[in-house]
Structure 1
Amino acid sequence: MKVATSVRNEFDRQFELNSLIKSSADELIRSSIRANWHFESRLKNEQSFALKVETGRFDPAALEDFYACTVVVPNLAMMREAENRMRELFVVFSRKPKDDDIATGDATTFSFDHTRLYANLKPSPGKDEESIHRIGFEIQIKTFLQHAWSIATHDLTYKTTKVSWGKERVAAQVKAALEAAEVSILEAETLASQNTSVLHRQDIKTKELLQIIEVMYRSFDVDDLPDDMKRLADSIRSLFRRCRISLDELGAIVESGRRLRGGVHPMNLSPFLSIVQYLFDVRPDVIAKALGRNGDIKILVPDEIVVPSSIDLGSARGVLRLRGR
């Protein structure tokens, strides 16, 4: 596409300054967001700049998205946190939409409505404001589902050579479905806790995991337990199934094992390995049989575990040894 010389010159003038803004803003944001958030940014290219200017709706010398970036968060609940972080890093002078409580369209419309902040770089402490601090740029804040929709439908509805009502209709339908999914994820805890909801039902595995988690919270200090209690409970459930012990005995085994050790858990073992140790202490015959059986899942027995002399791990087929160095 041909671009008028005057437009190209204006593009070149802005490109240099916005490149500096991009370098600074990228570094600030990347070092400030959570590890499980996503970040990406871009500078407008010459053709995109020219097409936007030609609409007549924007001042060529003051585009607010020559440099634009996107912060992507896991779910809707983290949108506010992301926005607050951006406000700490930059001078935000405008926001779209202005108010999250006011819908930007009617209930049947699913147009582009992600949170956009328009900001300037902050001068360094003790330094005067320069021209670079007066150039605005755009920060979009999206969830991963919103970001996925944008990527998947970008060429369908935004930058395309084929105008199609049908394509835009499909894109809107997909956005509606994803928005419903976002709301379900956000309200999952509430929905699942409703006694009248079909989601309140439990299967046997869920009941067993909850039973294990209850025992672990009762028997261990919270600080000694992992954030991922479901994974720990699943490992304990597999261990007890392999040992063919009822989970109803878990609490008694933990208490018996702890009493044998002076009322404290082993200082050098994780909660799971503490359970393994207690099985060796309280039910050695049962865990010995489990270690002797083949199976897809083996029992981890590192050197820190004290194994009774009556049990020969060398001939055990169901053991996973981990020796210290």
Structure 2
Amino acid sequence: MIIPPALEAKHAYVLHYINATAERVRDIVSGYCNEQGFAYLGRVKALDSLAEKLETGRFERWSQLEDLFACAIVIPTLLDEARILEHLRANFREVKCLERGTTRKDPSVFRFDATRFIGELRHPPGEAPTNLQGIKFEIQIRTAFEHAWSVTTHALAYKGSDAQWRHKRLAAQLRAAVEQLDQVVLGFEQWAGAIKEQRWSEIDEQALINEFMTNAIEQGKIPSEAIPSSLVRFSENLRNMIVAGSKRPHWNEGYEGKIRAALQRLGAEMDTLGESAFPRSLSLFQFCLGVFSKNNIFDRKLGERFVVVVTNELQSLYPEAEGFVEKKFDFEDAA
């Protein structure tokens, strides 16, 4: 497209400051996202996109442009939004913040409505402001669903060569679905409570292990440093290990009996050792493997599909484990 010379000249003059601002903002925001486990993306507005923006007729002067650099923080749920805004306000000068749900909107209309933080860089105390402090930037806070909607529909519905009612209609319908999904995630427990629960042996068996471990932790049988970061994941892994070392049950039976027997032996070992003698050199998972091996819980070797981390500490404390492991994790393989 043809760019007005006045716009080209202005853009060329401020581009250095825009890029410098973008680098500072990127360092702060992407670093925070890495720490918190959020996704980050950003871009300096291209000249042709800037020209199209001015052609909307909504801007009177250069100082009204607020997204010469823009980035987005993609969050799992809306519950994360408040602490992100707190972080942004602590690191940048807030020009304004357009929070989701604060604008007037027809209830029959569905459009992008993510929170947008407009900010500027702060100048160091005691120093005069520079041109860097005059560059406004926009930081959007999107949920994962909003981000998926934005990147998949924007190019299809708004960047095409022709305007079609059906394209925008479908984009709006998808936006409505996104809004509903975010609300379901926000009220996950309440929505889950409306679902009729049905029995499934794997879930029941994992819940059995989870309940046992939770009680053991509460009773002080497991030292704090041995507590897994996720009991849900640990219970799933432990159940899978017991299954790998067990004979296949009859078609209408699960592994509940085997798991109860394994947990009973585990509880007895914990009671015998006490918290003070609990082996700190083993992970809780390795400790369970050692106890199960020592007490002949397994009917067979764990098999090639269930690879186990066997350490010197495990072999020293529970040498019986060696006889039930068919395949060990290889720490020396550099491939």
TM over 0.5: yes
Q: Summarize deviations over 1:43-65 as a string: whole Å, max 9, x none.
A: 12221222222333113422111
The residue number in structure 1 matching 2:259 is 247
State how far apart, in whole Å, the 2-side matches of 1:225 and 1:309 are.
20
The residue number in structure 1 matching 2:327 is 320
State how far apart, in whole Å, the 1-side matches of 2:225 and 2:320 are.
33
Which portions of structure 1, spanning 4 or more consecutive aligned residues, are displaced by more than 6 angstroms? 307-310
Alignment of 1:55-66 (within 5 A): 55-62=56-63, 63-66=65-68
Q: Summarize deviations over 1:239-294 as a string: whole Å, max 9, x none.
A: 2223446222244212222344465321111111111111233x13x43x422x75
What amino acid sits opposite 1:290 in the alignment? Answer: R
Count of residue pairs brought into register by the alignment:
314
Q: Cα gap change, 1:310/1:179 in structure 2, threshold over 3 Å: closer, same or farther?
A: closer
Structure 1 residue 164: deviation in Å? 0.8
What amino acid sits opposite 1:304 in the alignment? Answer: E
Q: Cα gap change, 1:309/1:48 in structure 2, threshold over 3 Å: closer, same or farther?
A: closer
Q: Cα gap change, 1:133/1:250 in structure 2, threshold over 3 Å: closer, same or farther?
A: same
Q: Secondary structure at the match of 1:31?
A: helix
State how far apart, in whole Å, the 1-side matches of 2:241 and 2:37 are.
31
Structure 1 residue 300: deviation in Å? 4.8
Alignment of 1:250-269 (within 5 A): 250-261=262-273, 264-269=277-282
- Give the TM-score normalised by the residue count of structure 1: 0.86
Q: Secondary structure at the match of 1:290?
A: coil
The residue number in structure 2 matching 1:163 is 163
Q: Secondary structure at the match of 1:20?
A: helix
Q: Which deviates more, 201-210 or 169-178?
A: 201-210
Q: Summarize deviations over 1:150-169 as a string: whole Å, max 9, x none.
A: 11011123333211110001
Q: Secondary structure at the match of 1:32?
A: helix
What amino acid sits opposite 1:82 in the alignment? Answer: I
State how far apart, in whole Å, the 2-side matches of 1:312 and 1:160 are.
63
| Structure 2, unaligned runs of 5 or more | 217-221, 247-256
Q: Secondary structure at the match of 2:327?
A: strand
- Give the TM-score normalised by the residue count of structure 2: 0.84
State how far apart, in whole Å, the 2-side matches of 1:95 and 1:309 are.
59
Structure 1 residue 312: deviation in Å? 9.4
The residue number in structure 1 matching 2:49 is 48
Structure 1 residue 135: deviation in Å? 2.5
Alignment of 1:32-181 (within 5 A): 32-33=32-33, 34-62=35-63, 63-97=65-99, 100=100, 102=102, 104-181=104-181
State how far apart, in whole Å, the 1-side matches of 2:330 and 2:51 are.
65
**Identical columns (%):** 23
8 Å Cα contact 2:300/2:324 also seen in 1: no
8 Å Cα contact 1:11/1:49 also seen in 2: no
